[in-house]
Structure 1
């Protein structure tokens, strides 16, 4: 961690850079001092934005889950993907009706896929792995 100190005639500014490049500067208290209630300075985070950085796309697993198509999420079974539990059969709520948010999905309308458990990767149906094994009559116990 490097510490840089810049001295001005009436002001001393101390900035600390962390290992990931973020710079912390002391935040001013509402009364003009940089000290908090206990005499310790409160740091504030300065975020540096970079341009021309490629955005990484989330790749779907190969082969994807057959239920969620590789996303890992499906419509909530309580609210049918609406995010609310009242008047689920209607696209819009009637006038004066407030939504009651679904407690299962938290109002997002999405739940984890029961087949891949949210990973998006292909999984066999649990308990039926013997169906994929090759059948040889000579290996059967008599």
Structure 2
């Protein structure tokens, strides 16, 4: 079994009260070198990738106009639940994010169920009965 251990340079105790930060040891008066490697992310991008174009359905929903999203009913589209009637929060006030929409201020359209397509109203239509007829 192979054991690998990493050791970091310890702070130089000869600096006194200045050693509150991280300082590597100096060897025989040589300048301090940082031998720690920073983590880096390699991002690969692709060129000539076709972007999918989302077309609005025809005919679009009359409530969301084909987007499939509407303002959240809990936070009125603000994304926060405190001081919803104000455009900006008062000084020193932190937002309490809406748990229904996750702070986005958007929810699925109830009419088209988020598809953006036109749908008739759902439910029953009762016929009016004439009370004069027997």
TM-score bucket (shorter structure): 0.5 to 0.7
CA–CA separation in structure 1 for the residues paired with 2:124 and 2:53: 34
Query: Which residue of structure 1 aligns with residue 60 of structure 2?
Result: 64
The Cα of 1:129 is off from its aligned counterpart by: 7.8
The Cα of 1:53 is off from its aligned counterpart by: 2.2
Partner SS, residue 83 of structure 1: coil
CA–CA separation in structure 1 for the residues paired with 2:98 and 2:51: 33
| Bigger strand fraction | 1
Any gaps of 5 or more consecutive residues in structure 2?
A: 7-41, 127-134
Inter-CA distance 90–75: structure 2 relative to 1 (3 Å threshold): same
Q: How well do the aligned residues superpose, as a CA RMSD in angstroms?
A: 2.7
> Which of 50, 57, 61 is residue 54 of structure 1 equivalent to?
50
Query: Which residue of structure 2 aligns with residue 113 of structure 1?
Result: 109
Deviates more, 1:82-91 or 1:119-128: 119-128
Give 1:88-127 correspondences, 5 Å limit: 88-127=84-123
CA–CA separation in structure 2 for the residues paired with 1:30 and 1:64: 62
TM-score, with normalisation over the residues of structure 1? Answer: 0.55
Determine which structure has more spread, i.e. the larger CA radius of gyration: 2
Partner SS, residue 68 of structure 1: coil
The Cα of 1:128 is off from its aligned counterpart by: 5.4
The Cα of 1:48 is off from its aligned counterpart by: 4.6
1 or 2 for the larger relative contact order (CA 8 Å, sep ≥6)?
Answer: 2
The Cα of 1:49 is off from its aligned counterpart by: 2.7
